[in-house]
Amino acid sequence: MSRLSMRAATAEDGTELARLRWALSAEFPDHVPDGGYGAFADGFVEWWVGVVGTGEWDVVVAGDGEQLVGNVWARRVTKVPKPGTPSGAWTYVTNVYVEPGWRNAGVGSLLLGAILERSRRQGRELALVWPAERSAPLYRRLGFAPPAELLLVVLEG
């Protein structure tokens, strides 16, 4: 892991981020569309170029030279202001992915630790994640716990 570097994603990372997103989806075959990787990657890169730098998404990547081996995405969710209190925000963590050859070496913990620290520095109140069953132990080790009260309704599917 000594060659591994961590940093914020840039506009130039679009192609690599698309590749990682496709790889994550491929691990859940019911999520992979029939359209093929090329069409997905083109659309993804176009989308990424439009959102990078807007503050909408905060993305931390782990790289081994020029190739990315993992990423974590965080969406800033602002709260409605209330009288006497400035508007707050929280973080929605998603799309955490580490390539299979780099798993179980602490890369996921480093990525999540970095995005949580960035969220703390930005004054976020909490971080929320919907983990896959296999990744739940990682999140628990990093301090994530079920909320005392959360209500959810599924609007699709």
What CATH number has the domain bearing residue 59? 3.40.630.30
Q: Is 134 a member of any domain?
A: yes
Handedness of CA 15, 128, 89, 110 (dihedral sign): negative
Residue pair 137/32 in contact by the 8 Å Cβ criterion: no
C-alpha 19/C-alpha 25 separation (Å) is: 10
Tell me the mean pLDDT in the region 4-15: 95
pLDDT for residue 45:
97
Number of domains in the chain: 1
Q: How far apart are CA 43 and CA 15, in angstroms?
A: 10
Q: Look up the domain containing 23 and give its range.
A: 4-141
- Average pLDDT, integer, range 91-108: 96
Q: Which amino acid is at 109?
A: S
| Structure token digits, residue 130 | 């919907």
Q: Is residue 148 part of a domain?
A: no
pLDDT for 86? 75
Q: Is residue 150 part of a domain?
A: no
| CA atoms of 137 and 48, how far apart (whole Å) | 30
CA–CA separation, 153 and 82 (whole Å): 25
Confidence check: pLDDT of 85 > 70 = yes
Whether residue 92 lies inside any domain: the answer is: yes
Residue 95 clears pLDDT 80, i.e. is over it: yes
Residue-level pLDDT at 74: 97
Q: Is 46 within a domain?
A: yes
| Confidence label for 152 from pLDDT (cuts 50, 70 and 90) | confident
Nearest-angstrom CA–CA distance, 107 and 39:
29
Residue 157 lies in a domain: no
Element at 7 (helix H, strand E): strand 4-8
Higher pLDDT, residue 147 or 58: 58
Domain presence at residue 146 = no
Across 9-145, the runs of DSSP E, i.e. the strands, are 57-64, 67-78, 89-98, 127-129
Q: For residue 149, what pLDDT is reported?
A: 86
Q: Please tell me the predicted confidence (pLDDT) of residue 31.
A: 73
Question: Which three-class secondary structure state does DSSP give residue 6?
Answer: strand
pLDDT tens per residue, range 34-77:
778 999 999 999 999 999 989 899 999 999 887 999 999 999 99
Give residue-wise pLDDT tens across range 106-145. 999 999 999 999 999 999 999 999 998 889 999 999 999 9
The answer to whether the beta carbons of residues 122 and 74 sit under 8 Å apart is no
DSSP structure class, residue 31: G
Q: Is 96 a domain residue? A: yes
> Of how many residues is the chain composed?
157
